[in-house]
């Protein structure tokens, strides 16, 4: 537990003492420093002084980064800059430099080519009557055109709805309907998914297909995009009346029940996310980034591609991650930075050792979710000097970064610069994610070693602190809490449980509340519960994440109340295939006579989670999902051993 001096800091910061000494007592600066020191020593602050000594360099650097980004944000806000106008300034510096490389076809685009392609997109849409504030849905796998399309929309002020390529049927239809898109641009590789729902879409929705053209495989009325772009003017389209805090595009949540939420990304948010990473991890405009993450998510499209559009880097785009080709690609394109999510790192470690994996020029691995258990093995085996781990969701205002490669940490919470960047770890009930408050109704801060939820104070007039939320205002209520730091304030709820050590470093604690992470996607347990309950005839269902040895994240497990044993698993698996993306389907099923609930009618998941899917502990019927056959098989002791040994593909 922290000493009294450390606890005092939560109410009277070091800076606060200094300012009071200077302004109220009119002390000279030399005496200000002495008064601050005496204050903390008088309250047993020796331990706190030691912490400050160890973290001063880290925190000063973070403060400089924050102030630099904040200064640029204020400048761009005043000048009403946007992502396209910042890109235009990069274009002027080096029009012939390679901007994007698509590994799939070895296609290289210079900044000039990206500019002309995106301008053709803007002019095409303008010719079709679209204007600033209209929405176009983009449903396409990774390639250079993905970036050129949404950038071209942004040049016109049209907002792109970036649709998760895993979504089908109801989920896909929901995204298109709620976005109010006037046009859907889809990749030919996803034609079948569009055909499935075409008859139920609004007849006013225009369809443009990009890629290989086969009239027989696309919905009636769809047009081939590429010939239209060839005829479209390549000059800059009419400039929209957009500013730095106006909408840029929408990124959808994972959509575990077919009802994803569209997070609003404004121009300032796009810049902030990319710039904090760029300056915080000391990137260079000469770096080459290897980006194999989905471009419909913020990690691939903002943290990765953002370095190209805003800082002039070259970004190598891969259609999908390939563990066997990863290091070959890095060598081929001379990449210096690679992006990852935690699962990706483990997949690379599971590959047989090869000489090529240490013959690259990669100096930094950038991403989130690299667990402490494999951190050191990852950097030692692949000879990577720096791990740039960060934490932050698309819509959050409390992103953090591990700027000094502290093993296992996703970032840190400075005790010195909290007045510049007001974030906090607050106490929470891990089962319900309910915030724990004091007698005055204020959230209780966590001490070192105490798990809690990361929150960030919302200040709407500050682009670094604002919360832009979702298209559906009702979805915002679940992400905002009141009276968190003090009475009357608002704060963003991250939904993640972290733990802080004495030096302020933050470490992930596996999700145990209403979400977990599987196959690189966040999965909402409450939403999956709703889908399963509906499919099974409104029975009680409890969904939670369970650990599987050797696999990153947590696999979904559903405990189902089925006293009569009447569930038809074959039909159930078929229904799930239509309703849920693969990553959201429960890997394990457990059937019980009934599910126990708390006094507030919430499922008691703690014991269920502890027992997991071990048939030696669970006396109820257990099943596991064979993902190749898309059916559930009995989980006996032999199957359990195979799963534990990694012999079953989950």
Q: Kindly report the three-state secondary structure assignment for every residue of 558-625.
A: EEEECCCCCCCHHHHHHHHHHHCCHHHCCCEEEEECCCCECCCCCECCHHHHHHCCCCCCCCCCEEEE
Interior angle at CA 82, CA 79 and CA 86, nearest 5 = 90
Of 504, 368, 391, 532, whose CA–CA distance to 447 is shortest?
504
Q: What is the CATH superfamily name and number for domain 516-645?
A: ANL, C-terminal domain (3.30.300.30)
Cα torsion at 323, 324, 327, 332 (round to 10°)? -130
Query: In the structure encoding, which two tokens stand for residue 414, read together?
Result: 């400075």
Q: Is 450 exposed, middle or buried (0-12, 13-18, 19+ CB in 10 A)?
A: middle
What does each C-alpha distance from 235 to 97, 118, 232, 238 come to in angstroms? 20, 10, 9, 9
Q: Are 485 and 457 in contact (CB under 8 A)?
A: yes
Paired sense of beta strands 288-291 and 262-266, if any: unpaired
Query: In the structure encoding, which two tokens stand for residue 43, read together?
Result: 């309250």
Pairwise CA distance, residues 12 & 273, whole Å: 30
The CATH architecture assigned to 80-320 reads 3-Layer(aba) Sandwich (3.40)
Q: Are 52 and 42 in contact (CB under 8 A)?
A: no
The CATH number of domain 413-511 is 3.40.50.1220: no
Of 650, 612, 610, 613, whose CA–CA distance to 635 is shortest?
613
Pairwise CA distance, residues 594 & 571, whole Å: 22
Length of the chain: 650
Q: Are 102 and 124 in contact (CB under 8 A)?
A: no
Q: Are 7 and 52 in contact (CB under 8 A)?
A: no
CA within 13 Å, CB half, 435: 26
Q: What share of the chain is helix, strand, coil (3-state, %, to 5)?
A: 35, 20, 40
What per-residue confidence (pLDDT) applies to 36?
A: 57
Q: Are 378 and 349 in contact (CB under 8 A)?
A: yes
Which residues does the chain have with pLDDT short of 50?
A: 1-13, 16-17, 19-25, 27, 42-44, 256-258, 511-513, 599-601
Displacement of CA 356 from its chain's centroid (Å)? 30
Pairwise CA distance, residues 512 & 524, whole Å: 11
Give, for 264, the enclosing helix (H) or strand (E): strand 262-266
Start-to-end C-alpha separation, the chain: 41
What radius of gyration, in Å, describes the C-alpha atoms of the chain? 26
DSSP 212-240: S--GGGS-TT-EEHHHHHHHS--SPPPPP
CA within 13 Å, CB half, 463: 29
Pairwise CA distance, residues 327 & 339, whole Å: 12
- For the chain, give every domain's residue range: 1-43, 80-320, 413-511, 516-645
Of 253, 172, 261, whose CA–CA distance to 578 is shortest?
172
What per-residue confidence (pLDDT) applies to 184?
A: 98
Helix (H, G, I), strand (E, B) or coil at 429: coil
Of 449, 398, 402, whose CA–CA distance to 424 is shortest?
398
The per-residue pLDDT for range 299-337, each reduced to its tens digit, is 999 999 999 999 999 999 999 999 999 999 999 999 999
Q: How large is the greatest C-alpha to C-alpha distance in the chain, in angstroms?
A: 82
Helix (H, G, I), strand (E, B) or coil at 262: strand
Q: Kindly report the three-state secondary structure assignment for every residue of 276-335.
A: HHHHHCCCCCCCEEEECCCCCCHHHHHHHHHHHHHHCCEEEECCCCCCCCHHHHHHHCCC
CA within 13 Å, CB half, 90: 25
Of 524, 501, 502, whose CA–CA distance to 511 is shortest?
524
């Amino acid at each position: 537990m922290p000493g009294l001096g450390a606890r005092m800091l939560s109410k009277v910061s070091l800076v606060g003492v200094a300012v009071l000494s200077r302004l109220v007592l009119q002390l000279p600066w030399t005496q200000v420093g002495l008064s601050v020191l005496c204050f903390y020593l008088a309250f047993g602050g020796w331990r706190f002084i030691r912490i400050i000594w160890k973290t001063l360099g880290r925190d000063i650097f973070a403060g400089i980064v924050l102030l630099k980004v904040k200064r640029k944000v204020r400048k761009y806000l005043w000048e009403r800059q946007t992502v396209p106008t910042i890109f235009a300034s990069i274009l002027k510096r080096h029009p012939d430099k390679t901007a994007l490389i698509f590994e799939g076809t070895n296609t290289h685009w210079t900044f000039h080519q990206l500019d002309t392609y995106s301008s053709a997109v803007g002019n095409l849409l303008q010719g079709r009557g679209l204007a600033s504030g209209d929405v176009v849905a983009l449903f396409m796998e990774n390639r250079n055109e993905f970036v050129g399309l949404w950038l071209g929309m942004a040049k016109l002020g049209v907002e792109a709805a970036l649709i998760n390529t895993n979504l089908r049927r109801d989920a896909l239809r929901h995204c298109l309907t709620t976005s109010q898109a006037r046009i859907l641009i889809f990749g030919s590789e996803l034609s079948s998914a569009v055909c499935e729902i075409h008859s139920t879409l609004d007849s006013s929705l225009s369809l443009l297909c990009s890629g290989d053209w086969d009239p027989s495989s696309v919905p009636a009325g769809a047009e081939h995009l590429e010939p239209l772009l060839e005829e479209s003017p390549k000059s800059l389209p009419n400039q929209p009346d957009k500013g730095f805090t106006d909408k840029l595009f929408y990124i959808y949540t994972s959509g575990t029940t077919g009802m994803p939420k569209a997070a609003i990304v404004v121009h300032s948010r796009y810049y902030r996310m990319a710039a904090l990473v760029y300056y915080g991890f000391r990137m260079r405009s000469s770096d080459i980034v290897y980006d194999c993450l989905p471009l419909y998510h913020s990690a691939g499209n903002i943290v990765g591609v953002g370095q190209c559009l805003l800082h002039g880097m070259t970004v190598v785009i891969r259609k999908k991650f390939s563990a066997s080709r990863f290091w070959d690609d890095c060598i081929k394109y001379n990449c210096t930075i690679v992006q990852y999510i935690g699962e990706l790192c483990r997949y690379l470690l599971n590959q047989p050792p090869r000489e090529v994996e240490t013959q690259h020029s990669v100096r930094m691995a950038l991403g989130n979710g690299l667990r402490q258990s494999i951190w050191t093995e990852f950097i030692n085996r692949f000879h990577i000097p720096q791990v740039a781990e960060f934490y932050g969701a698309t819509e959050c205002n409390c992103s953090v970064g591990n700027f000094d490669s502290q093993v296992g940490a996703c970032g840190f919470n400075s005790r010195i610069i909290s007045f510049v960047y007001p974030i906090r770890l607050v106490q929470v009930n891990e089962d319900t994610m309910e915030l724990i408050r004091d007698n005055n109704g204020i959230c209780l801060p966590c001490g070192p070693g105490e798990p809690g939820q990361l929150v960030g104070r919302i200040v709407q007039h500050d682009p670094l602190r604002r919360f832009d939320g979702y298209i559906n205002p009702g979805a915002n209520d679940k992400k905002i809490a009141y009276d968190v730091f003090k009475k009357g304030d608002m704060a963003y709820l991250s939904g993640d449980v972290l733990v802080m050590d004495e030096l302020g470093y933050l470490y992930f604690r596996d999700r145990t509340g209403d979400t977990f992470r599987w196959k690189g996607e966040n999965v909402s347990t409450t939403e999956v519960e709703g889908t399963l309950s509906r499919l099974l005839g409104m029975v009680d269902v409890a969904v939670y994440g369970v650990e599987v040895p050797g696999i990153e994240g947590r696999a979904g497990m559903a405990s189902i109340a089925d006293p009569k044993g009447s569930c038809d698993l074959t039909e159930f698996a078929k229904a799930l295939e239509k309703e849920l993306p693969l990553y959201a389907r429960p890997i394990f099923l457990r059937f019980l006579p009934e599910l126990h609930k708390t006094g507030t009618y919430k499922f008691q998941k703690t014991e269920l989670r502890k027992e997991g899917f071990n048939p030696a502990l669970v006396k109820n019927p257990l099943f596991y999902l064979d993902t190749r056959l898309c059916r559930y098989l009995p989980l006996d002791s032999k199957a359990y051993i195979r799963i534990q040994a990694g012999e079953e593909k989950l």
